[in-house]
Structure 1
Amino acid sequence: MGKVYTIHDIAIRLNISKSTVSRALRNHPDVSKETKMLVHDMASKLNYQKNILASNLASKNTNLIGVVIPEIARQHFFAQALSGIQKVAKEHGYIVMVCQSNEEFLEEINQVNALVNSRVAGILISLSKETNDYKHIQNAQDRQTPVVLFDRGTDKIEISQVLVDDYKGAYEITNHLIQQGYKNIAHLSGPMSLSISQKRYKGFMDALKDAGRSTTDAYVLQCDNLSLDAKEATERILGLKKRPDAIFCMSDYMAIQVLKELKSNGVKVPEDIALAGFAGDPITEIVEPQLSTVEQPAFDIGVQAAKRLIMEIETDDRETLGFIHKILNTNLLVRESTT
């Protein structure tokens, strides 16, 4: 059997960097046509294409990008974010491999370790609700696998993140409810292990405080199982002697469950209780009444996260490149459920 040539061999013969060879082989737009011709000619001479699998293993690099998300079946947000990731990956010659943690920390660890062992070029992660330790992510970075967090981030490790302004979005929709004249606003939060839950809760509380409302008396119910706990939370709200006149849910899917429960109990929205969510899911326009919500730029989050990851994959000096913390704006959508 003849010698198995790698990207390194092509780079040495052409006196260019391995990253340039890699981009040229993937037809990356940043590489000139002349360089691409030289690289492909040399690859042909060395029979590189015939041994591409061995080359990937030898260089510890593939054209695969791993994506780990909590779930996709009930989450329009992640479907849109994946579309953005796929668009950018395709433009740069990468293939996307999607894994679901199912909101389980151990499953997230297993998925990340499997992707690293498969020698993916990089990993995009939206953390599970159970994630409170980041050794598996640090391990991926230590093994020279770039990782970028999106949507759900953390300040516990040094890592690039692409997030939305959860605090501002929650503040704005709570302030909208206050401006509409609602006096007793309840909040259904998510698990406080999630940074998005923490930020949306703080935005809610600060909006009340800035309006001169009592935060001590604010009625907050934590839904650790997200939409699964929304039904029980609504039942508790309806059992109160002094019912809230408005409810802000930390997600649209929770708000849909609340709306269903309110209707089944003969409670009119917004006449009896106003209702708002967070995400901008298309279903909020279909239900009756249409739900006010905070729209997240899901597709753009995917685009920006993928662009950053590819930048970290393809840089020749990752240490100098450093890390970024990018925050994208949300958009308040006022509809029938709060007016």
Structure 2
Amino acid sequence: MGKVYTIHDIAIRLDISKSTVSRALRNHPDVSKETKELVFEMAKKLNYQKNILASNLASKNTNLIGVVIPEIARQHFFAQALSGIQKVAKEKGYIVMVCQSNEELQEEINQVNALVNSRVAGILISLSKETDSYEHLQFAIDRNIPVVLFDRGADEMELSQVTVDDYKGAYDVTKHLIHQGYTNPAHLCGPMSLSISQKRYNGFIDALKDAGLSASNAHVYQCDNLSLDAKDATERLLSLKKRPDAVFCMSDYIAIQVLKVLKDKGIRVPEDIALAGFAGDPITDLMDPTITTVEQPAFEIGVQACRRVIMEAESEDRETLGVINKVLPTKVIERDSTLRV
């Protein structure tokens, strides 16, 4: 068997760095067309064959980006975010590996550990609803693998994060309800272990206070299990002596479940109870009535998060680069479920 040539051999013959050869072979846009042509020509001449496993084990950076999300099913947001991630990764010469935590901390830990052992270049993660410790993220960081949080952040960790302004989105949609004349809105929040649930709850409460409405008497129910909890919470709201005249839901999925319960019980929306969600899922525009929602730039979140993790992965001085906390704006989409004629 003849000599097996490596990136090092190509670099020596062309008198360029190994990192430049590696980036050229990945068709990275930062490498000039002329250099790429020289690298590919030399690789062909030497019959260079990339050994992905050996490359992963020998290099701190590979062409793999690991993504961990809570779930894809029922989540238009994550599907759009992944599209943004994939777009940037492809442009930069990276391959995306997607894992699901299924909203379980232990599964999230397992997935992160597997990605670390695969020597991915970086990890993008949206935390599970159970995540209340971050040793697994530190495990990756200690092995020189950058971690960027998206959608669901964690103030406890000194990590780059790309999120939306959950507080203002919730504040604005609650303000919209109040401007429509609703004076007794309720809130179905998500798991309070999630920062997005806390921020959306705080936005709801502060909007009530600023409008001079009683925040202490507002009905707030926590929905950990989405549809099951949403159904129970809606029935509890309907059993109150003084029913709320509007419901702001932490997510569009919860709002859709609430709408189903209300319609099954003959409650008119918005005539009897108004309804609003959060996420901007296109299905909200197909419901009857169409559901008011807070639109999130999911695709752009994926784009920004992927750009950041690649920047950190390719940085030779990550400490000086520091971390960023990118907060993207939201927009209230007013629809029939809250609008009074």
TM-score, with length taken from structure 1: 0.95
Cα displacement string for residues 61-91 of structure 1 (whole angstroms, at most 9, x for unaligned residues)? 4311111000001101001111111111111
SS in 1 for 2:66: strand
Aligned counterpart, 2:94: 94
Aligned counterpart, 1:108: 108
> RMSD in angstroms over aligned alpha carbons?
1.6
Question: Cα distance, 1:25 vs. partner?
Answer: 1.0
Say yes or no: does 1:200 pair with 2:200.
Answer: yes
Question: Cα distance, 1:14 vs. partner?
Answer: 4.3
Separation (CA, whole Å) in 2 of partners of 1:291 and 1:186: 16
Contact 1:150 1:302 in 2 (8 A): yes
Aligned counterpart, 1:233: 233
Aligned counterpart, 1:30: 30
Question: Cα distance, 1:93 vs. partner?
Answer: 1.3
Contact 1:4 1:51 in 2 (8 A): no
Contact 1:69 1:126 in 2 (8 A): yes
SS in 2 for 1:336: coil
Aligned counterpart, 1:211: 211
Say yes or no: does 1:187 pair with 2:187.
Answer: yes
CA 1:292–1:23: 2 relative to 1, 3 Å: same
SS in 1 for 2:212: coil
Deviates more, 1:27-36 or 1:14-23: 14-23
SS in 2 for 1:65: strand
SS in 1 for 2:337: helix
Letter matched to residue 289 of structure 1: P
Matches within 5 A, 1:313-324: 313-324=313-324
Separation (CA, whole Å) in 2 of partners of 1:313 and 1:126: 18
Separation (CA, whole Å) in 2 of partners of 1:234 and 1:37: 64
Contact 2:56 2:118 in 1 (8 A): no
Cα displacement string for residues 225-277 of structure 1 (whole angstroms, at most 9, x for unaligned residues)? 23331000001001000000000000000000000000111100000000000
Question: Cα distance, 1:40 vs. partner?
Answer: 2.5
Cα displacement string for residues 265-290 of structure 1 (whole angstroms, at most 9, x for unaligned residues)? 11000000000000000110001000
Separation (CA, whole Å) in 2 of partners of 1:50 and 1:183: 65
TM-score, with length taken from structure 2: 0.95
Question: Cα distance, 1:119 vs. partner?
Answer: 1.2
Aligned counterpart, 1:157: 157
Aligned counterpart, 1:166: 166
Runs of 5+ in structure 2 lacking a partner?
A: none
Say yes or no: does 1:118 pair with 2:113.
Answer: no
Aligned counterpart, 2:138: 138
Runs of 5+ in structure 1 lacking a partner?
A: none
Question: Cα distance, 1:160 vs. partner?
Answer: 0.7
Aligned counterpart, 2:263: 263
SS in 2 for 1:106: helix
How high is the sequence identity, in percent, across the aligned residues?
79
Aligned counterpart, 2:298: 298
Separation (CA, whole Å) in 2 of partners of 1:140 and 1:224: 28
Letter matched to residue 57 of structure 1: L
Contact 1:4 1:54 in 2 (8 A): no
SS in 2 for 1:171: helix
SS in 2 for 1:256: helix
Letter matched to residue 54 of structure 2: A
Deviates more, 1:167-176 or 1:312-321: 312-321
Separation (CA, whole Å) in 2 of partners of 1:51 and 1:282: 43
Deviates more, 1:11-20 or 1:137-146: 11-20
Aligned counterpart, 2:284: 284
Cα displacement string for residues 158-202 of structure 1 (whole angstroms, at most 9, x for unaligned residues)? 111100010010000000001111010100000100010000000
SS in 1 for 2:237: helix
